[in-house]
Amino acid sequence: MSRLHVDWTRCDGHGACAELVPELLASDEWGFPVSRTGERDPEVPAYLAEHAEHAVRSCPLMALSRV
Amino acid sequence: MTEALWALGRGTGIVALVMFTITLVLGIVTRSGRSVGGLGRFGVADVHRTAALTGVGLVAVHVGSLLFDPYAQLHLVDLVFPFLGSYRPLYLGLGTLAVDLLAVVTVVSLLRHRVGPRVFKSVHWLTYLLWPVALVHALGTGTDATSVWMTGLAAACFTAVTAAVGWRLLPAFEDRGRQRTPRKVS
Amino acid sequence: MSTIAPVDTRRLLTAEPADSLPVLSLEALLALAEESGLTGRGGAGFPTAIKLRAVAEGGTAPVVVGNAMEGEPLSRKDAVLLTRAPHLVVEGLALVGRALRARETVLAIGPEINPAAAEAAARVGRVRVARLEGGFVAGQESALVNQLDGRPAVPRDPLVRITTKGVDGRPTLVLNAETLAQLALAARHGAAWFRLAGTEEDPGTSLFSISGAVERSGVVEAARGSRLRDVLAAAVPVDPVAVLVGGYHGAWLPASQLDTRLTARELRPWGAAVGAGVLYVLGRDLCPIRAAAAIATYLADESAAQCGPCVNGLPRMADALQRLADRVPDPGLPHEIDRMRLLVVGRGACAHPDGTARMVASTMRVFEDHVTRHLAGHCEIEGARR
């Protein structure tokens, strides 16, 4: 079981993450990710693992990680 | 054979320049937080990275083929230390400088999760130096520089980069296209 | 039925300096912390024993930091403690530092703290005093670590806990000044003595900073789990309407609830917690919406501005609350306040947005009738003018 963790000190609301795992993350009006599962760090189901990895790689500020 | 190597060297060099032009422009688009051509923000970042790595590969072939081409008079030392070359030393030296810069930027970018965002960002700024150095090198060393198509290509690349950098400097560029209070980044 | 002799709760503020600094082994210190049931007095209320254990398991020689930053404007307890009994804080620091074989033991004081007394006491215990920049967020654990590392006083991503990697990359234990003082007392008199005051789940005493509509504002020491009314008694509240329990990140208790015990269980229905013991009394001549809006605005200004949701959401929430206080005839205001509140919770490197949201939510709930009247253009406190 892994979770997606946003490092809020790095995040600048670029938005690639919400595009890649829209099941888990949405974008608020300022561009910052909002968890859609009600958890602070949304759990990544197995079928989304690859997309979650892609999201982690795509963040230009390295604000996203899988923990 | 030597003509083939020379042609390969020239060809890969020119295409690499185009790749790095795309890379730089898309790098700015990535920073802008906007999507282009339906790629999505993630797509812009992906193509930026792909173009960069393709450029690196082309530069490797570019340098390799010229190393083996006796006409180019390129030696291994010329890959690292600039301005020591025999053939058009100034412009070749710029090529060396570009390769050095490219190596640093590429390694740090591939290891960005290890070095952290601050180091990654400051090293990435070197790309704004890398690109003009590569352009001048291409125009100075390349034997096609005076031809119409090469001039046209160089002009197109220059225009694209200037437009992108100009956009980057506009106040409207900030905040990734959203109405928001700026963060204080320490 | 036996009578219970009243327990003297004047512990911290009447303690004399010890003849010699106590020395405890790590095992003895951990046992003491566990048996005494001491919890943090800095706001989070975390069991001290667990924190000690986490750092002890670190491997590398840790850094121990006493937190006397007093970031909350309504709090006075760090200042009082470090003026009246700095030796106790230093005793606690030395105790912990020695038991953990700390590389460094630091007493971090904010600008509100008088440095002279602290430095004099620190010399005895060979503790370094670090005089640091203030601010609401500066007292947050990881922000404090950052400042000690020479970086801006803003929080870190909580993913890597400072008990794993803190000051200088070392496992770091940050304990509130009062927690250290309480630990020193427990070391002197024993865990059983410590538990004579307070409750089973929350033993000991703690310091409460009282301000607002009172005749005498200041700091009192009371047993944990005391009734709110009893803690406030010495300050003599004047016609209280409500009490903000837990400071700017706390929640309101209406005056009808003054008999509530300051325990986690009894405060939970109000969304409140004792926190760092800050109690603000709201009187009859201050509009509660106005008071809350002023606090929310202050908190928005004090944001470290590192995290997008906080730096954007808090000013918007405070603005809407101000407009509500001004009786702007916008029926959408409660929804906007609520929307912003939900947008900031859990989305930042620290609990600043969450605490602000808590205070705002409590305001909208406890003063619901004021909200309704404001939306209709009336405020019985600020009069008929718009």
Whole-number pLDDT of residue C6: 57
Q: Which two tokens stand for residue B156?
A: 């197109």
Q: What is the pLDDT of residues C9-45, one digit of tens each?
A: 789 988 888 888 778 999 999 999 999 999 999 999 9
The pLDDT, as a whole number, for residue B69 is 80
Q: Does A60 touch chain B (CB under 8 A)?
A: yes
B181 reaches C (C-beta below 8 A): yes
Q: State the alpha helices, DSSP H only, in A1-67.
A: 16-20, 49-58
Per-residue pLDDT band at B74 (split at 50, 70, 90): confident
Supply C331's token pair: 């029926």
- Asked if C194 and C204 touch (Cβ cutoff 8 Å), the reply is yes
Least confident of A18-22, B78-82, C44-48, C66-70: B78-82
User: What are C255-265's pLDDT values in tens digits?
Assistant: 999 999 999 99
Share of residues in chain A with pLDDT > 70 (%): 100
Q: What is the pLDDT of residue B148?
A: 87
List the structure tokens of B37. Answer: 């051509």
The answer to whether the beta carbons of residues C205 and C85 sit under 8 Å apart is no
Contact status, residue C121 vs residue C92, Cβ threshold 8 Å: no
ipTM: 0.97
Helix axes B148-169, B2-32, angle to 10 degrees: 20
- Those residues whose C-beta lies under 8 Å from the C-beta of residue C286, and which sit 6 or more positions away, are C213, C381
pLDDT at B85: 74
Instruction: Give the DSSP H/E element, type plus range, for residue A2.
Output: strand A2-6
**Residue appearing with tokens 């006491």:** C121
Cβ distance B45 to A55 less than 8 Å, yes or no, reads: no
- Give residue-wise pLDDT tens across range C58-99: 888 999 999 999 999 999 999 999 999 999 999 999 999 999
How many residues are listed for chain B in this entry? 186
Cβ atoms of C342 and C298 closer than 8 Å: no
Average pLDDT on B87-105 reads 90
Helix or strand run (H / E) with residue B168: helix B148-169
Q: How confident is the model at residue C2 (pLDDT cuts 50, 70, 90)?
A: very low
Size of chain C, expressed as the number of residues it contains: 386
Write down the pTM of the prediction.
Answer: 0.93
- How many Cβ pairs closer than 8 A exist between chain A and B? 48
**Residue C240: DSSP 8-state:** -
How far apart (Å, rounded) are the C-alpha atoms in residues C41 and C275? 7
Q: Give the per-residue pLDDT at C7.
A: 65
- Chain A residues close to C354, C-beta within 8 Å: none
- Mean pLDDT, residues B50-74: 90
How many Å lie between the alpha carbon of B184 and the closest alpha carbon of chain C? 5
The rounded distance, in Å, linking the Cα atoms of C206 and C374 is 38
State the distance between the two ends of chain C, measured CA to CA, in whole angstroms: 60
Share of chain B above pLDDT 90, in %: 66
Give residue C3's pLDDT: 45
Phi, psi of C166 (to 5 degrees): -130, -120
For residue C370, give the H/E element and its range. helix C368-375
Residue B88 has pLDDT above 80, yes or no: no
Residues sharing a CB contact under 8 Å with residue C376, sequence separation 6 or more, in sequence order: none
Mean pLDDT of chain B: 91
Does A58 reach chain B within 8 Å, measured CB to CB? yes
CB contact under 8 A, A67 and C159: yes
Share of chain A above pLDDT 90, in %: 99
What is the separation of C-alpha C195 from the centre of its chain, rounded to a whole number of angstroms?
A: 22
What pLDDT was estimated at residue C1?
40
Measured between its terminal Cα atoms, the distance across chain A in Å is: 9
**Token pair belonging to C94:** 């030395």
Nearest to B40 by CA among A16, C189, C264, C220: A16
Q: pLDDT value at position C200? A: 94
Q: Can you give the pLDDT at residue B143?
A: 67
* Residue C73 near residue C139 (C-beta atoms within 8 A): no
pLDDT digits (tens, 9 = 90+) for B109-118: 999 999 999 9
The bridge status of strand A64-66 relative to strand A2-6 is antiparallel
Residue C318 has a pLDDT of: 98
Measure the CA–CA gap between B117 and B51, rounded to whole angstroms: 21
Q: Does residue C212 surpass a pLDDT of 70?
A: yes
Check whether B180 has a pLDDT greater than 50.
yes
Nearest Cα residue to C299 out of C358, C243, C364: C358
Specify the amino acid at residue C204: G
Report how far residue C93's alpha carbon sits from residue C176's, in angstroms, rounded to the nearest whole number. Answer: 10
Rg, C-alpha atoms of chain B: 18
- What is the per-residue pLDDT for C10? 83
Over its C-alpha atoms, chain C yields an Rg (Å, rounded) of: 21
- Give the model confidence (pLDDT) of C165-184 as tens digits: 999 999 999 999 999 999 99
Collapse the DSSP code of B78 into the 3-class scheme (helix H, G, I; strand E, B; otherwise coil) and give the result. Answer: helix
CA dist C236 and B50 (Å) reads 71
Residue of C157, C312, C343 lying closest to A8 (CB–CB): C157
Distance CA C312, CA A30 (A): 8
What distance in Å separates the CA atoms of residue C69 and residue C14, rounded to the nearest whole number?
22
Q: Check whether C268 has a pLDDT greater than 90.
A: yes
Residue B29: closest C-alpha in chain A: A14
Contact list in A for residue B36 (CB cut-off 8 A) is none
Q: How far apart are CA A7 and CA A9, in angstroms?
A: 5
**Is B117's CB within 8 Å of A29's CB?**
no
The mean pLDDT of C150-167, rounded to a whole number, is 96
The mean pLDDT of chain C is 94
As given in the structure block, the two tokens for residue C212 are 């607002």
User: Whole-angstrom Cα distance, residue C159 to residue C120?
Assistant: 37
Element (H, E) at C87: helix C86-99
Cα distance between residue A49 and residue A67, in whole Å: 12
State whether A8 and C309 contact (CB < 8 Å): yes
> Cβ–Cβ of B46/A14 closer than 8 Å?
no
b/e string for B122-135 if b means 16 or more Cβ within 10 A? ebbebbeebbebbb
The closest CB to that of A15, out of B41, B116, B120, belongs to: B41
The CA-CA-CA angle for residues B59, B143, B135, to 5°, reads: 50
Positive/negative CA dihedral, B170, B173, B178, B180: negative
Domain ranges of chain B: 2-175
What is the token pair recorded at C382? 């600020």
Q: Chain C residues within 8 A (CB-CB) of chain B?
A: 151-152, 154, 304-308, 311-312, 315
Nearest chain B CA: its distance from A43 CA (Å): 21
CB distance B183–C308 less than 8 Å?
A: yes
When pLDDT is averaged across residues B62-70 and rounded to a whole number, the result is 86
For chain C, domains (ranges, CATH) are 2-193 (3.40.50.11540), 205-283 (3.10.20.600), 288-384 (1.20.1440.230)
Least Cα distance to C340 among C360, C324, C322, C323 occurs for: C360
Token pair recorded at residue C255: 């005056």
Classified by CATH at the fold level, domain A2-66 comes out as Alpha-Beta Plaits (3.30.70)
When scoring C312, C314, C316, C352 by the number of chain B Cβ atoms within 10 A, the one with the most, hence best to mutate, is: C312
Q: Which residue has the higher pLDDT, C353 or B67?
A: C353
- For residue A32, the chain C residues in CB contact (below 8 A) are 308-309, 312, 347
Calculate how close chain A gets to C170, using CA atoms only, in Å: 21
